[in-house]
């Protein structure tokens, strides 16, 4: 079964993993040290993130390092952009309404 990005980021642990490796590439053991869970659970999350192409693996010697795939995160940003525009429009309308109310009270 092919998962999509939004299934991957729906889980809070996976979002936390993304935040961790956004700063620097890390091994699964280093990632697991940041969570109160098993190494196997972290590996499962990493597998899902890898399937969704949100993280990439790089072999360095005997270790595998996981890092964030920035280009894939842009898909999430592009999807959110449509809502950002709606929110900005509504906030601007609210600003105008509050300004009008304030002027009427003077």
Percent of the chain with pLDDT over 70: 98
- Residue 2 is predicted with a pLDDT of 65
Residues 23-72: tens digit of each pLDDT: 999 999 999 999 998 999 999 999 999 999 999 999 999 999 999 998 88
State how many domains the chain has: 1
**Torsions phi, psi for 37 (to 5 deg):** -150, 175
* Dist CA 20 CA 26 (whole Å): 8
Q: Structural domain of residue 79, as residue ranges?
A: 5-105
Query: What pairs with residue 68 in β-bridges?
Result: 55
Residues 49/18/22/26 CA torsion (nearest 10 deg): -70
15 pLDDT more than 80: yes
CB 28 within 8 A of CB 64: yes
- Residue 34 is predicted with a pLDDT of 95
Rounded to an integer, the average pLDDT of 69-91 is 89
Per-residue pLDDT band at 1 (split at 50, 70, 90): low
13 pLDDT more than 60: yes
- Residue 106 is predicted with a pLDDT of 73
The CATH number of residue 89's host domain is 1.10.10.10
* Dist CA 99 CA 39 (whole Å): 55
């Amino acid at each position: 079964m092919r998962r999509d990005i939004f299934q991957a980021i729906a889980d809070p642990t996976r979002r936390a993993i993304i935040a961790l490796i956004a700063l620097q590439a890390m091994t699964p053991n280093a990632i697991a040290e940041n969570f109160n869970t098993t190494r196997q659970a972290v590996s499962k999350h990493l597998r899902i993130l890898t399937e969704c192409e949100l993280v990439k693996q790089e072999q360095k010697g005997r270790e595998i390092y996981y890092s964030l795939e920035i280009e894939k995160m842009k898909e999430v940003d592009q999807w959110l952009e449509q809502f950002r525009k709606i929110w900005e429009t509504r906030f601007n309308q609210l600003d105008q309404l509050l300004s009008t109310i304030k002027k009427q009270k003077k």
